[in-house]
Amino acid sequence: MRTPRGSPITSDLPRLALVTAISLVFAGTVANAGKEAPAAETIPTLGSCRFHLPEKVSTIVYQASSGSLQSDFHIPHSTKRVGRQEIVVPNETAPVFIVLAGFESIQWNLRVQPGAKIAGVYVLGLADQVITGVPADVRVGFSVRRIGDAAEITLDEGQGCPSLKARNAALYDLKSIETLLSEEFGRQIDKAHVADSPPCPYQECSLLAAAGRSWWQNLFGEKRAASTAHAPDVRASGRFIVRNDAL
């Protein structure tokens, strides 16, 4: 008596199922090859300059060209460098009004000393700026004048913040910054730190030397934690992505 043979299709079903499963896994691997997890990206916000500054406030200006250190923040789809500037916010008898002025994109990392009170942070830039270490209850306002690769100019400012349209020289020297602060906020510069130029008009370099600290030691720190784009202490005028490869 002849034993009937099974259908070739039926007998091959388990093997076909195995091959199909392997193929699907391989296809998924190939499809995901070269795809990285999306980098953390800042949410641009231009903030507000309606600071309601108290009558007694110490106005401190920090100016930098490009940032002396390397930032973990990067501009999407760009090879342009983003510098980092470490800022020590001092504990003074009066609240401090912080003014940050950058020529290129800079991460300003605030290190707030215990007991220091910040009345507001105003940021001027000839490119997008990002600030880290900002206390949650501190108001930040931006005025940005961007110059693109084709020399096109775009202007952005927060609510109540001055426009830089008619202020081409607003960032180039402390006198121009002081004029802007006087006209827009009714404030004069009490102290200033020019990171790329150690000679110090407005700076109290002699007092720092007498205290046994260099100007650089007073202004910049050493170790820092990894950066994150969505932390509550981060404010940015434009889009930045974070890669913690500069630690």
Per DSSP, the residues of the chain read: -PPPPPPHHHHTHHHHHHHHHHHHHHHHHHHHTTPPPPPPB-----BB------SS-EEEEEEESS-SEE-SEE-TT-----EEEEEEE---SS-EEEEEEESS-EEEEEEEPTT--EEEEEEEESS--EEES--TT--EEEEEEEE-TTS-EEEEE-BTPPPSTT-TTTTTSHHHHHHHHHHHHS---SEEEETT--S-TT--HHHHHHTT--HHHHH--S--PPP-TT-TT-EESS--EE-----
Which pLDDT value is given to residue 148?
77
In a domain, residue 137? The reply is yes
pLDDT tens digit at each of 247 positions of the chain = 555 555 554 555 555 555 455 454 444 444 444 444 345 888 899 999 999 999 999 999 999 998 889 999 999 988 888 999 999 999 999 999 999 999 999 999 999 999 999 999 999 999 999 999 999 999 999 999 988 777 788 999 999 999 988 876 667 789 999 999 999 999 999 999 998 644 343 444 444 334 444 444 455 444 555 567 667 789 999 999 987 654 4
In a domain, residue 201? The reply is yes
Rounded to whole angstroms, how far apart are CA atoms 218 and 204?
Answer: 11
Cβ pair 66, 28 in contact under 8 A: no
The whole domain housing 211 covers: 58-242
Rounded to whole angstroms, how far apart are CA atoms 246 and 153?
Answer: 30
Which pLDDT value is given to residue 134?
95
Which pLDDT value is given to residue 2?
54
In a domain, residue 49? The reply is no
* Token output for 189: 């510069």
Which pLDDT value is given to residue 16?
52
Quick check: pTM over 0.75?
Answer: no
In a domain, residue 153? The reply is yes
Rounded to whole angstroms, how far apart are CA atoms 120 and 129?
Answer: 16
In a domain, residue 217? The reply is yes
Which pLDDT value is given to residue 160?
96
Write the CB contacts of 101 (distance below 8 Å, at least 6 apart in sequence). 61, 62, 63, 64, 123, 124, 125, 171, 177
Which pLDDT value is given to residue 165?
86
In a domain, residue 247? The reply is no
Cβ pair 57, 94 in contact under 8 A: yes
In a domain, residue 84? The reply is yes
Which pLDDT value is given to residue 141?
98
Calculate the alpha carbon distances from 203 to 69, 93, 108, 152, 193 in Å.
22, 18, 19, 36, 6
**In 3D, which of 138, 153, 126, 161 has the Cα closest to residue 50?**
161
Cβ-count burial of 96 within 10 angstroms (0-12 exposed, 13-18 middle, 19+ buried)?
A: buried
Which pLDDT value is given to residue 246?
47
Rounded to whole angstroms, how far apart are CA atoms 71 and 80?
Answer: 12
In a domain, residue 31? The reply is no
Which pLDDT value is given to residue 88?
94
Number of compact structural domains in the chain: 1
Rounded to whole angstroms, how far apart are CA atoms 141 and 158?
Answer: 5
